[in-house]
Amino acid sequence: MKFDDYSIAPEIKRNLESLGFKKPTDIQFKSIPPILKGEDVLAIAQTGTGKTAAFAIPVVSMLYERKTSRRSEGIKCLVMVPTRELALQIAGVFEQIARHLNLKVFCVYGGVEQGPQIQQLEAGIDILIATPGRMFDLVSQGYIRLQRVEVLILDEADHMLDLGFIKDIQDLMKFLPRKRQTLFFSATINEKIKKLAYSLVHNAIRIQISPKDPVAKNIDHSVVMVGMDDKRFFLERLIKEHADSKILVFVRTKIRAERVLKALARVGIPSETIHGDKEQKDRLQVLNQFRTGAVKVLIATDISARGIDIPNVDYVVNYDLPEQPENYVHRVGRTGRGTQKGQAFSFCSPEEKPILDEIEQFLTKPITVVALDKDTYEETVDTSAEASFDLKALMKEAEEFVMSRKKKKKK
Ligand code: ADP
Ligand code: MG
């Protein structure tokens, strides 16, 4: 099957060609036809399998061909996503697929000024990608009109329907026309959320690819048993042994992210952090530096675990195991995108063993354990540059002490 075989506008096919998309991925193959037919879809497919284009291609095609209402009457497609970074990324994909088609794509998210967003909205938008908070602000102020929405998409659907977001999504439904198409996309879902998803739509939903193994097959992932306090030595070793690699490190909290950054700095490894306490412009800047490779090591909390598509991430390291088992799948899924291969290591300390058990239950299979003999373990700790750092720091302290003594004597 080629994109040529679909009944989509030739302009879209040309855009796909310039993106280097030669044929549809499995999930695209299975979801494009029912979406084009106007059906509601719940699509589950592994990370990195092209879910964005699986909804963007048919939606762009429908909006381009239908031209049902005027742009000034309100937006026609609304995509809800959990983070600002993801909103921008998805807007980028829509823009590429809709090039030269006279469809306006825009995204709104919090953490930046409203003014410029309002200006764009006033000019008229066809496809809007949004995080809930800012969108509701703009809806209540009358800048976003939802009564013409033809398609609603929840990307990272299980997350959008879970505790933190469900109320927002339920509120949103009240603003939308009853007659609309609803699409849910995610790499993971559980029975409870699936039921909830069904309850939000009127027609039957079609369930797509639901793989036995939620971790994509091009990701090689394993776990290393290390003591909590030794984790930094193992991270140091991994980074130094793969000096040219792009490495994404996940930690449990913002504080730990900053702590790992400092520990790496002590041993001469530059890195950056990304988490919810950072200003929006800094978050975007760091992510772009990581994208271009100017930053090789990025330390992140789970806010970056969902959906973010960065090419050539060689390694994902779970410095701490994720507390939500499904986040294991999303975190390791930041590597091995598309046809690329990726590798993921998880550091598991004795106190994290129950979390590992839960993750393995979620995956329905054990994760390979990297066998570390005692010598390798000790060598990793002993060869850390931190020892020489400590020595240097001590010498500096001694020097300062001597200097201050000399000064005192002169007086
Ligand atoms: P998912 O949402 O399933 O995790 P994305 O939509 O972010 O995955 O896509 C993952 C990567 O695959 C992106 O870099 C995208 O450009 C690429 N991709 C998507 N569809 C195709 C295709 N048909 N051919 C080649 N590459 C594709
Ligand atoms: Mg995605």
Domain ranges of the chain: 3-209, 219-410
Q: Quote the pTM value.
A: 0.91
| Superfamily name with CATH number, domain 3-209 | P-loop containing nucleotide triphosphate hydrolases (3.40.50.300)
φ/ψ of residue 299, rounded to 5: -105, 125
Region of residue 39 (left: phi > 0; alpha: psi -120 to 50; beta: else): beta
Domains 3-209 and 219-410 share a fold: yes
Q: What is the pLDDT of residues 275-311, one digit of tens each?
A: 999 999 999 999 999 999 999 999 999 999 999 999 9
- Which residues have C-beta within 8 Å of that of residue 106, sequence separation ≥ 6? 91, 117, 120, 121, 125, 127, 128, 129
Nearest ligand to the CA atom of 56: 1
226 in helix, strand or coil?
coil
Mean pLDDT, the chain, as a whole number? 92
What is the tens place of the pLDDT at every residue in 334-389? Answer: 999 998 999 999 999 999 999 999 999 999 999 999 988 999 999 999 888 886 66
Q: Candidates 3.40.50.300, 3.30.460.10, 3.50.30.30, 3.30.420.40; correct CATH number of 219-410?
A: 3.40.50.300
Closest by alpha carbon to 157, among 182, 121, 120? Answer: 182
Quote the pLDDT of residue 402: 74
Q: Does residue 208 carry a pLDDT above 90?
A: no
How far apart are alpha carbons 247 and 88 in whole angstroms? 22
Residue nearest (by alpha carbon) to ligand 1 atom 9:
50
- Is residue 45 predicted with pLDDT exceeding 90? yes
- Which ligand has the minimum distance to the alpha carbon of residue 291? 1
Best mutation site among 183, 309, 339 for ligand 1, i.e. most ligand atoms within 8 A of its Cβ? 309
Query: Which pLDDT does position 7 carry in this prediction?
Result: 87
Percent of the chain past pLDDT 90, that is, above it, reads: 80
Residue 208 Cβ < 6 Å to ligand 1: no
**Whether 272 contacts 299, CB under 8 Å:** yes
**Which atom of ligand 1 is nearest to 185's Cα?**
2
Q: How far is the CA of 124 from the centre of ligand 2 (A)?
A: 26
Ligand 1 contacts CB of residue 309 (under 6 A): yes
Give the Å distance between the CA of 25 and the centre of ligand 2.
Answer: 13
If DSSP codes are grouped into helix, strand and coil, which group holds residue 238? helix
